[in-house]
Chains A and B, each alone.
Chain A
Amino acid sequence: MQKNNKIIHVLILMCTIFFSLMAYLTYFQLFTGKKMESNAFNRRQQLKEDDTKRGDIYDRNGVVLAESTNIKGKWQRKYPYGSLYSHVIGYNSEIYGRALIEQKYNSYLLDINELKSVMGISNSLLKGEKVGNNLYLTIDNKLQKLANELLGAKKGAVVAMNPKTGEILAMVSKPGFDPNNSALTEKWKELVDSEDSPFLPRAVQGLYAPGSTFKVAVAALALEQDMEDIVFDDKGIINIDGKNFSNSNKKAYGKLGLEKALVVSSNVAFSQIGVKLGEKNLRDMANRIGMEKSISFDIPLSKSVFPYESMEKTDMAAVAIGQGKMLVTPLHMAMLASSIGNNGVMMKPILVSRVVDAEGKELKKWNPEKLGNTFTADTTKKVKNMMVKVVKEGTGRSAAVKGITVAGKTGTAENEQTINGANKEHAWFIGFAPAENPQIAVAVIVEYSGGSGGTISAPIAGKIMKDYLDR
Chain B
Amino acid sequence: MMKLLSLKRPVNMLVLANILAFGLLYYYKKPYDKMVLIEGLIVTGLICLSYFFIIKKNMGDGYLFLVVSMLSSLGVLMIYRLDQDRGFKQILWLVIGIGLFFMSYYLYGKVKIKDKLMFYYYAASIFLFMTTLVIGSSINGSRNWILIGGYSFQPSEIIKILFVLTIACYFKNSEQIIFNSKSVNLKWKLDNTKIISKIAFFLMVYSYIGFLVMQREWGTALLLFLIFFMVLYVFDNDIKLLLLNGAIAAIGGIGGYFFVHHIKIRVQMWLDPWADIAGKGYQITQSMFAISAGGFFGRGIGLGDPYLIPEVKTDFIFSAICEEMGVFGGIAVILLYFLLVYRGFKIALYIKDLFKKTVALGITLMFGFQTFIIIGGVIKLIPLTGITLPFISYGGSSLVSGFIALGILQALSKECYSGEEDVSDAEEQ
Q: Which residues of A contact B (CB under 8 A)?
A: 3-4, 6-11, 13-15, 17-18, 20-22, 24-26, 28-29, 32-37, 39, 41-44, 47, 116-122, 124-125
Q: Does B381 contact A (CB under 8 A)?
A: yes
Q: Mark B90-124, 1 if CB is under 8 A from A, else 0.
A: 00000000000000000000000000000000000
Given contacts A4-B349, A41-B282, whether A29 and B291 have CB atoms under 8 Å apart is yes
Find out whether the CB atom of B235 lies under 8 angstroms from the CB atom of A3: yes
In chain B, residues 293-345, which have Cβ atoms closer than 8 Å to a Cβ of chain A? Answer: 293-300, 303, 305, 308, 322, 326-327, 330-331, 334-335, 337-338, 341-342, 345
| A to B CB contacts below 8 Å, 22 in the list | A6-B233, A6-B234, A11-B342, A14-B365, A18-B338, A18-B368, A18-B372, A21-B334, A22-B331, A24-B381, A25-B379, A28-B379, A29-B292, A29-B296, A29-B327, A32-B288, A33-B292, A37-B292, A37-B293, A117-B293, A119-B296, A121-B295
Q: Which residues of B contact A121 (CB under 8 A)?
A: 295, 297
Q: Which of A25, A34, A35, A36 has the most CB of B within 10 A?
A: A25
Does B296 contact A120, Cβ atoms closer than 8 Å?
yes
In the complex, what distance in Å separates the CA atom of A3 from the CA atom of B278?
49
**Distance of A73 from chain B, by nearest CB (Å):** 14
- What residues on A are CB-neighbors of B379 within 8 Å? 21, 24-25, 28
Q: A36 and B296: CB pair below 8 A?
A: no
| Contacting pair A120 B230 (CB below 8 A) | no
Bound-complex Cα distance A459 to B293 (A): 54
Q: Which residues of A contact B303 (CB under 8 A)?
A: 122, 124
* Residues B295 and A11 in contact, CB atoms below 8 Å apart: no
* B168 close to chain A: CB less than 8 A: no
Contact among B288, B334, B365 with A22 in the assembled complex (CB-CB below 8 Å)? B334
Q: Residues of B within 8 Å of A, CB-based: how many?
A: 49
A28 partner residues in chain B, CB cutoff 8 A: 288, 291-292, 379-380
Distance between Cα atoms of A26 and B303 in the complex (Å)? 22
Are A18 and B297 touching (Cβ within 8 A)?
no
Please state if A44 and B372 are interface contacts (CB–CB under 8 Å). Answer: no
Write the chain A residue with the least CB distance to B345. A11
Cross-chain contact of A34 among B292, B298, B305, B357 (Cβ < 8 A): B292
Q: Is the CB of A21 within 8 A of B376?
A: yes
B interface with A by C-beta (< 8 Å):
230, 233-235, 277-278, 282, 285-286, 288-289, 291-300, 303, 305, 308, 322, 326-327, 330-331, 334-335, 337-338, 341-342, 345, 348-349, 357, 361, 365, 368, 371-372, 375-376, 379-381
Chain B CB within 10 Å, residue with most, of A3, A7, A22, A32: A7
Contact A10 B296 (CB under 8 A): no
Contact partners of A39 in chain B: CB under 8 A: 277, 285, 289
B293 pairs with A44, CB closer than 8 A: yes
Taking a contact as CB atoms under 8 Å apart, the answer to whether B368 and A14 are in contact is: yes
Contacts of A37 in B (CB 8 A): 292-293
Q: How far is the CB of B46 from chain A (nearest CB, A)?
A: 28
> Does B330 lie within 8 Å of A10, measured CB to CB?
no
Contact B289 A25 (CB under 8 A): no
B residues in contact with A116, CB < 8 Å: 295
Which of B326, B334, B349, B357 contacts A120, CB < 8 Å? B326
Q: How far is the CA of A14 from the CA of B365 in the complex (A)?
A: 8
Q: Interface of chain B, helix or strand or loop or mixed?
A: helix
- 7 additional contacts, CB 8 Å, given A28-B288, A33-B291, A122-B303? A3-B235, A7-B349, A9-B233, A11-B345, A18-B338, A118-B295, A120-B296
Cβ contact of B365, chosen from A10, A18, A33, A117, cutoff 8 A:
A10
Contact of B289 among A10, A15, A36 (CB under 8 A): A36
With A17-B372, A18-B337, A21-B376 already in contact, the answer to whether A26 and B278 are too (CB < 8 A) is no
- CB of B295 within 8 A of CB of A29, answer yes
A146 to chain B, nearest CB (A): 46
A9 to B292, CA, bound (A): 34
A15 to B293, CA, bound (A): 28
Q: Which chain A residue shows the least CB distance to B234?
A: A6
- A contact residues around B345 at 8 Å (CB): 7, 10-11, 14
Which of chain B's residues have a CB closer than 8 A to the CB of A17? 368, 372, 376
Selected from B234, B277, B349, the residue in CB contact (under 8 A) with A41 is: B277
CA of A100 to CA of B134, assembled, Å: 62
Taking a contact as CB atoms closer than 8 A, the residue among A7, A11, A15, A47 that contacts B305 in the complex is A47
The CA of A26 and the CA of B371, in the complex, are separated in Å by 17
Which chain A residues border B296 with CB–CB below 8 Å?
29, 118-120
Rounded to whole angstroms, the CA-CA distance of A166 and B396 in the bound complex is 67
Contact between B297 and A120, CB atoms less than 8 A apart: yes
On chain A, the residues within 8 Å of B308 by CB distance are 43-44
Contacts of B372 in A (CB 8 A): 17-18, 21
The chain A residue sitting closest to B303, CB to CB, is: A122
Q: A24-B379, A25-B330 are in contact. Are A120 and B295 (CB under 8 A)?
A: yes
Evaluate contact between A36 and B288: CB separation under 8 angstroms.
yes
Contact in complex: A7, B295 (CB < 8 Å): no
Chain A CB count within 10 A is highest, among B294, B296, B345, B361, for B296
Contacting residues, chain A, for B230 (C-beta < 8 A): 10, 13
A34: chain B residues within 8 A (beta carbon): 292
The distance in angstroms between the C-alpha atoms of A7 and B233, with both chains bound, is: 9
**Assembly CA distance A6 to B348 (angstroms):** 11
**Separation in Å of the A115 CB from the closest CB of chain B?**
9
CA A116 – CA B349 in complex, angstroms?
Answer: 46
Complex Cα spacing A35 to B278, Å: 18
Whether B233 and A36, one on each chain, are in contact in the complex, defined by CB atoms closer than 8 angstroms, is: no
Give Cα distance in the complex from A15 to B330, angstroms. Answer: 16
Q: Which 8 A-B pairs give the minimum distances between C-beta atoms?
A: A120-B295, A33-B292, A36-B292, A42-B289, A120-B297, A6-B234, A24-B381, A29-B327
Residues on A with C-beta less than 8 A from B365 are: 10, 14
A25-B330, A43-B305, A124-B303 known; A10+B361 contact, CB < 8 A: yes
Q: How many Å from the CB of B197 to the closest CB on chain A?
A: 19
* Residue contact B357 to A3, C-beta cutoff 8 Å: yes
Name the distance in Å between A21's Cβ and chain B's nearest Cβ.
Answer: 5
Q: What residues of A have a CB within 8 angstroms of the CB of B334 in the complex?
A: 18, 21-22, 25
